[in-house]
Amino acid sequence: MQLGIIGLPQSGKTTLYKALTRADIPTDISSGQMEVHTAVVDVPDPRVDQLCAIYHPKKIVRAKVTYADIAGLDGSAGKNGLSGALSNQLSQMDGFLHVVRQFENPSVPHQAGSVDPIRDIQTMDTEFVLNDLVMVERRLERLREEHRRGVTRDRALIQEDIDLFERLQAVLEKELPLRHYAFTPEEDKLLSSFQFLSRKPQIVVFNQSEDQAPLEYRSPHPHTTSVSLPAKLEMDIAALDPEDAAIFMAEYGITEPSLSRLIRLSYDLLGVHSFFTAGDKEVHAWTLRKGSNAREAAGVIHSDMEKGFIRAEIISFEDMITFGGTAEARTKGRLRVEGKTYIIQDGDIIEIRFNI
């Protein structure tokens, strides 16, 4: 899972990035140029620790999330779209953490002259909408030329593509992000290679000072959620050792670190969850799209397992904790044998039987 941290200059993107990753980079890297810092972070999941207490494995592998602090967005791309390098970097992300400035600080002036979070959200949406509109218009030109010539594909199939892209164009011309458009599974498959930026899900992160109340905000667009947090305070906490951090958090009434909160929101937003493989050798957390079946889960572990899939032996996390291990769960009849169409549930502990 890759999440891009975006926002206007001086919004606190890099401060949030440091809070999430504990990276040691300058907090203010806003140069107006495309610049990217990335870090891979373990997903905090207490279920991994509970499984380790049962199996005492030689190796522990937690699920991972990659954060990319992406500089270069300033709301000025206009109708020409974003630069190729910046657009390419953004297109690789599964979703975005859009940092929006809520804090006031006279020594760090806002580029627009005032702090207005809703305006800044609209500015970034417009940036992506215009970029996607350029892509859609270029694609329509090629499709219409292909339809005119009619030598590579059936004209009826080309017309279906033209109809779809004209619908996307109509949405974008209303200055609405493509998250606003409800895609069918067929359209989703067709458009998967285009990586439209305004289609990607996002979490709007209102970066506030410690004394500000959370901003009440409900996005008019689907696949968008929001959270308020003081990024500077979270960064300071992340730099402390665990004991001092716990005292600091209690003093400020912070119940959990921003990393845990944002990863949970990210999992929900991207429609993924975790399953586990567990034993004396290794406890491993895996990330899987919700609704995926046992054979697809096997493919996440290894492509050979998916090809040679026979069955999956499954214990729910709750049963594993209740019975304290695979053997007792099996004795109590809580180990299930499932076929390839079984839909994996959050927290399932699975063992794949396969033959190649």
Distance CA 14, CA 26 (A): 8
Residue 300 resides in a domain: yes
Residue 202 resides in a domain: no
Q: What pLDDT is stored for residue 79 in this prediction?
A: 61
Distance CA 282, CA 288 (A): 19
Residue 277 resides in a domain: no
Strand partners, 142: none
Residue of 28, 135, 44 whose CA lies nearest to 90: 135
Residue 271 resides in a domain: no
Q: What is the pLDDT of residues 279-329, one digit of tens each?
A: 999 999 999 999 999 999 999 999 999 999 999 999 999 999 999 988 899
Q: What is the pLDDT of residues 48-93, one digit of tens each?
A: 999 999 999 999 999 999 999 998 788 777 666 788 888 899 999 9
Strand partners, 5: 69, 97
Report the predicted TM-score, pTM, of the whole model to 2 decimal places.
Answer: 0.87
Helix or strand holding residue 162 (H, E): helix 155-173
Q: What pLDDT is stored for residue 80 in this prediction?
A: 65
CATH number of the domain encompassing residue 320: 3.10.20.30
Strand order in the sheet with 95-101: 35-42, 64-71, 2-6, 95-101, 202-207, 224-229
Q: Output phi, psi for 299, to 5 deg.
A: -65, -30
Q: What pLDDT is stored for residue 279 in this prediction?
A: 92
Helix or strand holding residue 204 (H, E): strand 202-207
Residue 349 resides in a domain: yes
Q: What pLDDT is stored for residue 292 in this prediction?
A: 96
Distance CA 38, CA 66 (A): 7
- Which residue range(s) make up the domain with 319? 291-354
Residue 193 resides in a domain: no
What is the residue-wise DSSP string for 263-313?
Answer: HHHHHHHHTEEEEEEESSSEEEEEEEETT-BHHHHHHHH-HHHHHTEEEEE
Residue 14 contacts residue 38 (beta carbons within 8 Å)? no
Total number of domains in the chain: 1
Residue 186 resides in a domain: no
Instruction: Enumerate residue ranges in the chain where pLDDT < 70.
Output: 26-33, 78-80
The token duo for 292 is: 């995926």
Q: Tokens 């030329």 sit at which residue?
A: 145
What are the respective helix, strand and coil percentages of the chain, to the nearest 5? 45, 20, 35
Q: What pLDDT is stored for residue 315 in this prediction?
A: 96
Residue 304 resides in a domain: yes
Sequence-ordered list of residues with C-beta below 8 angstroms from that of 270, at least 6 positions apart, any chain: 1, 94, 95, 201
Helix or strand holding residue 119 (H, E): helix 117-149
